[in-house]
Amino acid sequence: MIFRPDLFIPELFQIGIIATLFVLAVGKPSWSRNLIWLPWVAVVGVIVSVFSLGAEGTIFYGAYSVDALSQFFKLVIAIGFAMAVYNAVSPSHVDEEKRADYFLFLATSAFGLMLLCSGVELITIYLALEISSYSLYALIPLRNRDKQQAAEAGIKYILFGAVVTAVAMYGLSFIMAAYHTTYIFELAHVSWSLDHYPMAVLGLTLFLCALFYKLALFPFHFWCPDVYQGASNETAAFVATLPKLGAVVVLIRFATLLEPGMHVTTILAVLAAASMTFGNLVALVQKDLKRLLAYSSVAHAGYVLLGIVAGTPEGLAAASFYSLVYLLMNLTCFWVICRMSTDGRNLVLDDLNGLYTRSPILAFILAVCAFALVGLPPTAGFMGKLFLLNSAWAQGYEWLVVVAVVNTAIAIYYYLNMVRHAYTMEPREEPLHISGPTMVWGGIFAASILLLGTVPGPVFRFAQTAGQFFMP
Amino acid sequence: MADFLFNVWSKIQSEFYIMHTSTFPVLSALLFFPLIASAVLFFVRGEKNIRIFTLVVGFIQVALALPLLSFDLTYAGFQFVELRSWVPAWNMQYYLGVDGISILMVFLTVLLLPLCVLCSWSYIGTRVKEFHFCLLLMTTACVGIFVALDFVLFYIFWEAMLIPMYLLIAVWGGPDKRYASIKFFLYTLAGSTLFLAAIVAFFIHTGTFSIPDLMEGTYSFRFQFWAFIAMAIAFAIKVPMFPFHTWLPAAHVEAPTAGSVLLASILLKMGTYGFLRFCLPLTPSASEYFAPLMIAISIVSIIYGGFVALGQNDMKKLIAYSSVAHMGFVTLGIFVFTVRGVEGALMQMINHGITTGALFMLVGAIYERSHSREISDNMGLGKYLPAYMAFFGLFALASFGFPGTNGFVSEALVLIGVFAANYWLGALAIPGVMLAAAYMLRLGLKLAWGQPTQAKTWSDLNKREWVYLTPLAVLVIYLGLGPGLALKTINPSIEKLLHDFEVRKEQVVAVEQTTETRHAEHKEQPPSFFTEQGERVLIFHSQQAQESPVKLIEAKGAQIDWPYLAGLEKKSGIMTRGELP
């Protein structure tokens, strides 16, 4: 089947948003001034994605697979998009006449990521990856203060992104040369032994590099802190979360190629361990909150890899579940930062001082996020991590599990530092004024993190069906 | 009218009856009531209302614990069991229950909530709502630790307890609170990370998180060796045992009174409870292998804690170091593996919780008068605060195990157990008892008759202070003079624990299973399902059925939904019915 619109509904909805924003962007400047409705439309998008959870089939000559995995991740991306839009819609961190353009790029990037969820063919994956990246290249420099820094961040992102893209293309050419196919399900049945097919393995490794770059996995993380710091808080929230989901979903698709004991798997395991340890150690000395979260995301990329390294349906389900949790806790953390940074500047740890007296509810939400990011119960971060540890240990990666739990002990210091500043230091600034709806939404975000930590069963069941996706 | 009264009475009776059968989820009520109350607390306004509200919650919590009094003293297994499916994908269960090892700690935890509210009545003046919020969360987490029978559930409470405790120290603590709170958090969290790895290892090895099921498994010595190390580090830090104890004095000194009380009475016991609940039953061979080391560390803790306590000028620090010594007796009693020793250890856990908690309350009370914890600022109280000194004297006597108080019973039992195991070992522990007398008497003498005194203008204990000290004083004397009931409660479970320990430490699987077979075993678990009452039923195929037709979860009061089972039998054609083992 070439095309079936019924399998394409979440994407079509996203295209609708993009088209509307496009009209607003090219229309009169006054049109794009009031975009308060946009988050609600994005929430409708979430509902649409929920309803298309059960869809199954392939379109575009088998290059585009709609299955439990893709639909789960499309839902997560829709949730993330709604949160990111809600986060970015109220303050004026971009100039007013550019607001429609800003959200246009945001929506396009999310659209590209949705395509990425369903890509089961290397060229499709590549195209989807580029759609989502190109919009981000334009997004990052859009900031109405520290423009030089923002431009620097943008250039860094483009430059590194372009190099990695080229490397991925190069790798793709090796794979095609070795096996004459780009469909993952065909590649799943061929040998990936370094001794017998060095060219194919080299190609796969190079292609994976592009994904690692998106995921900000050590040693492909170097862009991450600078870009987060240069971009506006709201953009950083998006860049820090959603593109990583795209990378995770493709890695999950690739996991069908991987088996324990393979060279590539071993490399992945080593990278996971290095990424966790490096990210956490460097985060210990960070003062800028966005840089701190950047290094924490490097560490979290390592955690997600635990599930992919395991490669079992449980492991992939755990990785999917953890991606959702990661998105929730990171976006909520950024959400608090954006609410605190009323003038759009970058926050440092000392800016958190006395948050407890300035706004108790924000302090509470921040504490929930921080403890979730450490992986402390009863938050979702703990459950996600536990599932990952279980699946990795079951496949004999005991050493990796030990590295992961020891990392928790390292990570606690800097996350706890955030809580310490918020709760025990004297405030330097006036109380924050948080509006009612903002408080309610923040409360919902925090509650969902706690709820996923105490009753993860129902959501994990969805992740499980996603982990057992059917390869045609 | 008479009819009406009769109806009401029978209704009350039937309600009461329900409370006494396993259908009323006593343990869940104890867990969730403070949690719900903490949510309601957000809407309570006014400092005094908040205190009264939390106090009432505390009393209701005590009342909710009363059904536990119907605990069957002759049964060694878990009682008041609640079992529900939680995360079926990973075989995690909402599994609660108490036995003789945990029930007394549950009582102590529940009792401390109202007492902590009372002893913070005037001590805590800022952020009152948040303080009581933390207290309620602490209660939930502490009860949860002692009733959880699922490994993950246990770990959740074990870690979740850190957050409110951290806040109690960091927000309401003394001048050096930041250092103390971070040290407390880092130490305890770092210790428990490897514990998590051990939990994962047990799960992958057996396919279950259920602690009673894990207690029946056999594990290779190599597995036990590493699992014991991972668990013992977590527990030893919590106890705390000698080289890991440095967080304790810092945390105790800086914590507010209620924080110190909870630390001393409950938190420290979590470590020793962990040894009893996990190390001995799950890793018996490794426990025996490591016992000499643990005993050595215990004795060092006893002697070292005693000597350091002798030199302290800060009252809280003195009591903190005395805790190190007293908890050394607990671990010593556990690792000699004799009935008397373990009984003494368990009694010492309770008694130390009562007496040290009370001593911290007394230090808090005098701190409110003198604003100093230095001994030299609080001397000569005997003449001006006789009631205070009487309480202090009683708890001090109990602390060093004076005959007639509860401390004597437990220390004597531990020593009997130790002497039974090894004569020389007992002789080594004796100086610890004498040291305890030395440092407590030194403290007591200075407080009572030391000069110069500043106590002339201070008032003696007020009614509120009487109220929260009296229950603990009564317990000290009751457990000192009539420990029979408490011993009867704990005895069957401890005998079972040691019996299983003796049997199972020999059953070491010689060959470590490979990952593949472990994985296969995990897949071949007998199918199980949950009845509507929430009990798990394991189904065995008919060939095996001759030996054990149906293995039901070994839980007293578990009810079997026979019609449901019969329906299942028809549907699946699998033999499910049989007798309870």
The predicted-structure confidence for B536-546, as pLDDT tens digits, reads as follows 555 444 333 33
Residue B512: the pLDDT is: 43
- Per residue, what are the HEC states of B480-536? HHCCHHHHHHHHHHHHHHHHHHHHHCCCCCCCCCCHHHHHHHHHCCCCEEECCCCCE
Residue B509 lies in a domain: no
| CA nearest neighbour of B313 among B368, B253, B254, B246 | B253
Q: Quick check: B152 contacting A, CB < 8 Å?
A: yes
Of chain A residues 134-163, which have a CB less than 8 A from chain B?
Answer: none
The predicted-structure confidence for B62-102, as pLDDT tens digits, reads as follows 998 888 888 888 888 888 888 888 888 888 888 898 988 89
Look up residue B403 and give its DSSP letter.
T
- Judged by CB atoms closer than 8 Å, whether chains meet at B194 and A406 is answered as yes
**Backbone phi and psi for residue B95, each to the nearest 5 degrees, phi listed first:** -130, 115
Closest CB from B170, B181, B515 relative to A396: B515
Mutation target among B163, B222, B514 for the A interface, most CBs of A within 10 A: B163
Closest CB from B86, B90, B185 relative to A416: B185
Q: Return the structure tokens found at B349.
A: 């856990």
- Judged by CB atoms closer than 8 Å, whether chains meet at B186 and A413 is answered as yes
Torsion over CA: A318, A324, A329, A330 (sign): positive
Work out the pLDDT band at B526, boundaries 50, 70, 90.
very low
The predicted-structure confidence for A126-169, as pLDDT tens digits, reads as follows 999 889 888 888 888 888 777 888 888 889 889 888 888 899 99
Chain A residues touching residue B519 (CB < 8 angstroms): 394
> Residue B509: is its pLDDT beyond 60?
no
Q: State the nearest Cα–Cα gap between B88 and chain A, in angstroms.
A: 7
Q: In this structure, are B414 and B368 located in the same domain?
A: yes
Chain B residues touching residue A405 (CB < 8 angstroms): 193-194, 196-197
> Residue A359: is its pLDDT beyond 90?
no
The rounded mean pLDDT for chain B is 81
> Do B363 and B396 contact (CB within 8 A), yes or no?
no
> Residue A327: is its pLDDT beyond 90?
yes
- Judged by CB atoms closer than 8 Å, whether chains meet at B86 and A460 is answered as no
The predicted-structure confidence for A235-265, as pLDDT tens digits, reads as follows 889 998 998 998 999 888 888 777 666 777 8
Q: Quick check: B247 contacting A, CB < 8 Å?
A: no
> Residue A4: is its pLDDT beyond 50?
yes
- Judged by CB atoms closer than 8 Å, whether chains meet at B193 and A406 is answered as yes
Nearest residue of B to residue A401, measured between CA atoms: B197
What are the distances in angstroms from CA B107 to CA A218, A345, B78, B353? 50, 52, 16, 11
Residue A91: the pLDDT is: 62
Q: Quick check: B229 contacting A, CB < 8 Å?
A: no
Per the model's pLDDT, the better-predicted residue between A147 and B562 turns out to be A147
Per-residue pLDDT averaged across B101-115, rounded?
91
Q: Quick check: B197 contacting A, CB < 8 Å?
A: yes
Nearest residue of B to residue A376, measured between CA atoms: B159
Per-residue pLDDT averaged across B417-423, rounded?
87
Mutation target among B85, B87, B153, B179 for the A interface, most CBs of A within 10 A: B87
- Judged by CB atoms closer than 8 Å, whether chains meet at A423 and B178 is answered as no
Per-residue pLDDT averaged across B431-445, rounded?
89
Residue A112: the pLDDT is: 93
> Residue A71: is its pLDDT beyond 70?
yes
Of chain B residues 293-312, which have a CB less than 8 A from chain A?
Answer: none
Q: In this structure, are B450 and B317 located in the same domain?
A: yes
Chain A residues touching residue B85 (CB < 8 angstroms): 457
Q: Return the structure tokens found at B313.
A: 């000028």
Cα A415 to Cα A376: distance, rounded to the nearest angstrom:
11
Q: In this structure, are B485 and B533 located in the same domain?
A: no
Q: In this structure, are B274 and B126 located in the same domain?
A: yes
Look up residue B67 and give its DSSP letter.
G
Structure-token match 């317990």, residue found: B475
Q: Quick check: A447 contacting B, CB < 8 Å?
A: no
Chain A residues touching residue B190 (CB < 8 angstroms): 409, 412
- Judged by CB atoms closer than 8 Å, whether chains meet at A386 and B178 is answered as no
Per the model's pLDDT, the better-predicted residue between B548 and B232 turns out to be B232
The predicted-structure confidence for A404-434, as pLDDT tens digits, reads as follows 999 988 898 899 888 888 888 888 777 888 8
> Residue A277: is its pLDDT beyond 90?
yes
Structure-token match 């988050």, residue found: A39
Q: Is B479 left (phi over 0), alpha (psi -120 to 50) or beta?
A: alpha
The rounded mean pLDDT for chain A is 87
Nearest residue of B to residue A409, measured between CA atoms: B190
Residue B18 lies in a domain: no
| CA nearest neighbour of B110 among B43, B31, B15, B25 | B31
The predicted-structure confidence for B116-167, as pLDDT tens digits, reads as follows 988 888 888 888 888 999 999 999 999 999 999 999 999 999 998 988 999 8
DSSP string, B212-249: HHHTT----HHHHHHHHHHHHHHHHHHTT-GGGTTHHH
- Judged by CB atoms closer than 8 Å, whether chains meet at A387 and B178 is answered as no
Q: State the nearest Cα–Cα gap between A164 and chain B, in angstroms.
A: 36
Q: State the nearest Cα–Cα gap between B384 and chain A, in angstroms.
A: 38
Closest CB from B189, B201, B522 relative to A412: B189
Closest CB from B86, B87, B204 relative to A393: B204
Residue A388: the pLDDT is: 92
Q: Quick check: A314 contacting B, CB < 8 Å?
A: yes
Residue B491 lies in a domain: yes
Per-residue pLDDT averaged across B321-326, rounded?
90
Residue B206 lies in a domain: yes
Q: State the nearest Cα–Cα gap between A337 and chain B, in angstroms.
A: 22
Mutation target among A322, A366, A389 for the B interface, most CBs of B within 10 A: A389
Q: In this structure, are B214 and B112 located in the same domain?
A: yes
What percent of chain A lies above the pLDDT cut of 90? 25
Q: Quick check: B162 contacting A, CB < 8 Å?
A: yes
Work out the pLDDT band at A173, boundaries 50, 70, 90.
very high
Q: Return the structure tokens found at A237.
A: 């929230």
- Judged by CB atoms closer than 8 Å, whether chains meet at A394 and B204 is answered as yes
Q: Quick check: B194 contacting A, CB < 8 Å?
A: yes
Residue B74 lies in a domain: yes
List beta partners, residue B396.
Answer: none
Q: In this structure, are B285 and B429 located in the same domain?
A: yes
Q: In this structure, are B302 and B160 located in the same domain?
A: yes
Q: Quick check: A284 contacting B, CB < 8 Å?
A: no
Q: In this structure, are B292 and B397 located in the same domain?
A: yes
Residue B7: the pLDDT is: 62
Per-residue pLDDT averaged across B277-298, rounded?
90
Q: State the nearest Cα–Cα gap between B519 and chain A, in angstroms.
A: 7
Residue B547: the pLDDT is: 40
Residue A260: the pLDDT is: 60
Residues in CB range of B531: below 8 A, 6 or more apart: B537, B560, B561, B564, B565
Residue A181: the pLDDT is: 86
> Residue B554: is its pLDDT beyond 70?
no
Residue B43 lies in a domain: yes
Chain A residues touching residue B157 (CB < 8 angstroms): 377
> Residue B528: is its pLDDT beyond 80?
no
Residue A274: the pLDDT is: 93
- Per residue, what are the HEC states of A310-362? HCCHHHHHHHHHHHHHHHHHHHHHHHHHHHHCCCCCCCEHHHHCCHHHHCHHH
Residues in CB range of A458: below 8 A, 6 or more apart: none
Q: Quick check: B167 contacting A, CB < 8 Å?
A: yes
Residue B504: the pLDDT is: 80
Residue A75: the pLDDT is: 92
If one counts every other C-beta atom within 10 angstroms of the C-beta of residue A313, the result is 16
Q: Quick check: B90 contacting A, CB < 8 Å?
A: yes
Helices (H), B371-459: 381-384, 386-399, 406-421, 423-449
The predicted-structure confidence for A281-311, as pLDDT tens digits, reads as follows 999 998 899 999 999 999 999 999 998 888 8
Domain of B190, in residue numbers: 26-504
- Judged by CB atoms closer than 8 Å, whether chains meet at A406 and B156 is answered as no
Residue B10: the pLDDT is: 56
Helix (H) or strand (E) holding A66: strand A64-66
Residue B214 lies in a domain: yes
Of chain A residues 377-416, which have a CB less than 8 A from chain B?
Answer: 377-378, 382-383, 386-387, 389-390, 393-396, 398, 401-402, 405-406, 408-409, 412-413, 416
Q: In this structure, are B401 and B546 located in the same domain?
A: no
Q: Return the structure tokens found at B224.
A: 């036990």
Residue B310 lies in a domain: yes
Q: In this structure, are B314 and B434 located in the same domain?
A: yes
Say how many domains are in chain B: 2
Residue B9: the pLDDT is: 54
- Judged by CB atoms closer than 8 Å, whether chains meet at B87 and A457 is answered as yes
Q: State the nearest Cα–Cα gap between A252 and chain B, in angstroms.
A: 19
